[in-house]
Structure 1
Amino acid sequence: MKKIIIILGIVMAAFTSCSDYIEEESLSYVPADETYKTASGFQLLINANYAWLKGIYGGNPWLFESGTDMYAEGRTPEPAGLSQYTLLIPSSSNVDELYISCYQQIQSVNKTLYYSTVTEQTSNLGMLVGEARYLRANAYFLLVQTYGGVPIVNEHVTAPILSFTRNTAEEVYTQIITDLEASLASVGTGAYATTGKVNKRAVNDLLAKVYLTRGYETFGTPTDFTKAASYADAAIAGQALNIPFSQLFAATATGDNDLNAETIFSVQYDKASTSTDPTRLGNNQFYYFSSYLGGSETGAPLRSYNLCPTTYALGLYEKGDKRWETTFMTEVLEETVTTNGAAKTTLYYPYYRPTNPAAVKVRHFYEPKWFTPADKTAWLAANASRRAATFVYHPWGEYGADHTLIDNRDCYTIPVKKFDDANPTTPVSTGPVSTRDIILSRLGETYLIAAEAYLKAGIPTTGLDRLNEVRRRAGVANATLGEFNIDYILDERGRELVGEYKRWFDLKRTGTLVARASLYNYKIKAANFVGIDGALKILRPIPQTALDLNQNKDFPQNPGY
């Protein structure tokens, strides 16, 4: 493969760092080219492909969740462009993060595919290449959803060329599907909980999402929705949602349940390896979706005060929905322990690992939407002995993101607890570091993808069955055919998938971003989306850094910028 192409100079430095990372694994100073031509050396390339997922997902989640109906700014400012749209321009903070990290992933895979043709030919080589192509498809899928059409670069690059052209979104989708079809034909079938590697189920799941999303595009066809439903059912493979929702994200002092039978694909972290460089090798997912909790002085986990759940998000749950208390820390607990005559009160973590359970008290309680005055009276009476001296009862409507305009004290927005790291390897003072896996695909969401695909394919009864399997596990009544529409699906996805890096893509896919964000996010008005040319800023802008380094000045910017 002699032709050398590169997409932009800014990413080239990152590509170089990727090579450095891999070559550090080479033993005895053997040149990289020779190393990768061995089976063990080629495995290093495969490992690097998986490692780049941490660069895509392990940092802040602005491009995944901000500026939506579910999460809004609290006390801590969010990047104004991405969270409010009025100041969204090509040079806005954080706009280029997926652009850079996804092309890093793509280049890593391109290098893998190049060496697959010259490395030692082993019996599992085809399977490894299939895993790599899945990861490249995932990166292109993130890019095309976020920025629209982007350059397709599928060759191993070793030197920068600073002139490049833009492919259409339709061409990018064709590339994604080509990669995934090849991947599906070659990856293994081993259970993800056992292998931790891309398997046919993961590929079917991503194909379902790709076809579903393409179906909404102007170049999409009704058969896209039919294919999406078929691939989703193949990923479901007849498996019911029988793991209690409380166990899907279970966090204990002795371990987590990230690799359970419903996890289809995730970004995996290892406590032992992460401890060598925790601030870079851990992830930040647990850090968001909450108020600040007091930090090291209270022994509570360090949290930001942004991407706080909106009142709309909090009001999605009805009485009896098991997802409410699993998703949110509805009671923030405290424990006072006296050691050597000195009393110290710790907050939040007594929920997971109390030293003296009898001494644990409730510092904060967040009243759910369905509480009546009688329910409040009953709760206060039943928990009279549990209430701390500084107990705070938060009435419904007074702990959403918008309430921070009135009261933004610590713990005055309900914390999302589903990503809690109950046994962190680093102290609070280290910063926002977690070694929990980031679950990218799980069976509950696949049922909801199938529900949406069947609805759009004109088979709503089957779609309703898929959605009601999710509601059955949640312990709530079935939805009816009369209420089964895109808005209901988005509400159900909201209940099921809080904080799971899906929401901006959901709203963009379904064409509801402007309407829902302006209706439910107190920081956003519909006019915020109107760009300088009158077009709506639905896609994120092509980053200015990429445009500046491109010698092809005919490279088009997205509408609205």
Structure 2
Amino acid sequence: MKKIILILGIIVTVFSSCSDYIEEDSKSYVPADETYKTASGFQLLVNSNYAWLKGIYGGNPWLFESGTDMYAEGRTPEPAGLSQYTLLIPSSSNVDDLYNSCYQLIQSVNKTVYYATVTEKTSNLDMLVGEARFLRANAYFLLVQTYGGVPIANENVTTPILSFQRNTAEEVYTAIISDLDAALASVGTGTYSTTGKVNKRAVNDLLAKVYLTRGYETFGNAADFTKAASYADAAIAGQALNLASDQLFKPGNDLNAETIFSVQYDKTSTSTDPTKLGNSQFYYFSSYLGGSETGAPLRSYNLCPTDYALGLYEKGDKRWEATFMTEILEETTTGSDGKAKTVLYYPYYRSTNPTALKVRHFYEPKWFTPADRLAWETANASRLAKTFVYHPWGEYSAAHTLIKNLDCYTIPVKKFDDPDPTTPAGTATNNLVSTRDIIVSRLGETYLIAAEAYLKAGIPATGLDRLNEVRRRAGVANATIGQFNINYILDERGRELLGEYKRWFDLKRTGTLVERASAHNYKIKAANFVGVDGKLKILRPIPQSALDLNQNKDFPQNPGY
């Protein structure tokens, strides 16, 4: 099951926006009903549930990261509504991305749950249904965090349903926990790196996140935090953070011992459309690096780290070098035409003669003193390229592009780099995609979930222990009990999880979205959040497309819109 691939040609499904309806067109002329009643056909249906994750996570990450304290646009504009809030309305660009893709997965799971009752009985049938219910719970969890209460549509739909009622957020959380409780009782215990399938550890991890998030809601209670801490510890299962920081996201090491759940890609599965079937996570959190003319990867100047994000790291924190490409290297090679060619960035990964590499750009860390700069320049004098640029601290964040708008003028995030794309030779750089996995859950974050849950449950000493395990691996001093609060946890999550599709949810969960985004994102002021009704735009709006297609017009919009 490692690298689950959706086999097309058996059943083609088409999702019709808010109607949550899938029309079937059997290209092999084998009826779906007949196919799914066999063990092999049912397995294909389960596999398709995993495949829908690529639609949720594989595209642009605006709903995960835009409009936060850690990332802001550089010279490339982001969707103005999601990134700045003032222009955020129900019809804004990309507002419906999660709404549509999550309901696509939900309907696929609904079909799985239905056919489990009529398909061939096998020894692993309950386990497969448990995996599917985990995926449905994760989809609803994304929806309820983003939009608040949404319709609970857990029936297998065979004819169009054009009218939906909006369930409350409390009801959605109840449905999520019900699915996860059932999943926990039935999924397997196989090691994720071997099976590639949802296991009990993944379910415990998601239960921890769900209970922690519900605990902050008006209908939550102290017991939610206690449960979150317990489930997080069950997911940790005594495993220390022993993988070095620079190995966590090393290309080729996505399925490491600390990966709990991920969206998996396989290079062979992209062969039918190698310019589209991967993901674009590598494209963000950086700057334009020169593109095809230098052989560098295409980057967007979107979601560039803010001064706040870059300033989170202290001297000795191993995550600084593991997260950022602090030196951009160049190498002179001979092109196919026999002429000398300078290749930028990728020589870091690919060079066969590392001693010949030159440094084109260096980004000075926050802790450098003038003496440190002099020492670095002296030690590296022989390595400097003719066009070398030294970027002092404070001159390579997102906001600095307002002052100096040039290639490579924000520090590149390297943790998602794919130095071995499989796109055809000569493919335009704007069509390059990655086939690296997108890591959704990993052990380092689970420790931080436990830390926050114990703090909120009134057991700060235990929570501090969990947080300091993350800091121990990073090579920095333990935090003290006097420092240990929600803001410190958010700072630590920023250091550990930069770029990992978590930040907007973190700020929304902890009630710090307005305060932190307006304090640290140069594009956002607190007044941006005030909506037409005078209420704050904390939730994203219910998409206008969903409202228009819903024949039930008594479907309330979120506050602020």
TM-score clears 0.5: yes
Selected match of 1:324 from 305, 320, 328: 320
Residue pair 1:55, 1:101 contacting (<8 A) in 2 also:
yes
Q: Is 2:387 aligned against 1:390?
A: yes
Residue pair 2:18, 2:549 contacting (<8 A) in 1 also:
no
Residue pair 2:285, 2:304 contacting (<8 A) in 1 also:
yes
Q: Distance in 2 between matches of 1:274 and 1:9?
A: 25
1:358 shift after superposition: 2.6
Q: Is 2:273 aligned against 1:277?
A: yes
Q: Distance in 1 between matches of 2:129 and 2:551?
A: 33
Q: Is 2:258 aligned against 1:262?
A: yes
SS of residue matched to 2:453: helix
Greater Cα offset, 426-435 or 471-480: 426-435
1:284 shift after superposition: 0.5
Deviations 1:189-211 (A, max 9, x none): 00000100000000000000000
Listed as ranges, the matches of 1:132-171 within 5 Å are 132-171=132-171
Q: Distance in 1 between matches of 2:464 and 2:246?
A: 24
Q: Is 2:368 aligned against 1:371?
A: yes
Q: Is 2:123 aligned against 1:123?
A: yes
1:14 shift after superposition: 7.5
AA partner of residue 406 (structure 2): R
Deviations 1:302-344 (A, max 9, x none): 1111100001000000000000001000000000113564110
Residue pair 2:21, 2:157 contacting (<8 A) in 1 also:
no
Name 1:4's counterpart in structure 2.
none
Listed as ranges, the matches of 1:381-530 within 5 Å are 381-426=378-423, 429=428, 431-530=431-530
Name 2:22's counterpart in structure 1.
15
Residue pair 1:11, 1:104 contacting (<8 A) in 2 also:
no
1:29 shift after superposition: 3.3
Residue pair 1:9, 1:546 contacting (<8 A) in 2 also:
no
1:223 shift after superposition: 0.1
SS of residue matched to 2:388: strand
Selected match of 2:344 from 343, 347, 357: 347
Q: Distance in 2 between matches of 1:533 and 1:211?
A: 31
AA partner of residue 207 (structure 1): L
SS of residue matched to 2:275: helix
1:118 shift after superposition: 0.3
Selected match of 1:356 from 342, 353, 356: 353
1:354 shift after superposition: 1.0
Name 2:295's counterpart in structure 1.
299
Residue pair 2:249, 2:415 contacting (<8 A) in 1 also:
yes
1:276 shift after superposition: 2.0
Give the number of aligned pairs.
543
Give me the TM-score of the superposition, normalised by structure 2: 0.95
Gaps of 5+ in 2: 1-14
Q: Distance in 1 between matches of 2:346 and 2:161?
A: 52
Name 1:204's counterpart in structure 2.
204
Residue pair 1:331, 1:362 contacting (<8 A) in 2 also:
yes
SS of residue matched to 2:276: helix
State the identity %: 84
Q: Is 2:43 aligned against 1:43?
A: yes
AA partner of residue 554 (structure 1): D
1:551 shift after superposition: 1.4
Q: Distance in 2 between matches of 1:171 and 1:432?
A: 41
Q: Distance in 2 between matches of 1:270 and 1:495?
A: 29
1:273 shift after superposition: 1.0
Q: Distance in 1 between matches of 2:381 and 2:205?
A: 48
1:374 shift after superposition: 0.3
Name 1:66's counterpart in structure 2.
66
Q: Distance in 1 between matches of 2:17 and 2:510?
A: 32
1:280 shift after superposition: 2.9
Change (3 A) 1:14 1:293: farther
Name 2:231's counterpart in structure 1.
231
Gaps of 5+ in 1: 1-7
Q: Distance in 1 between matches of 2:162 and 2:21?
A: 15
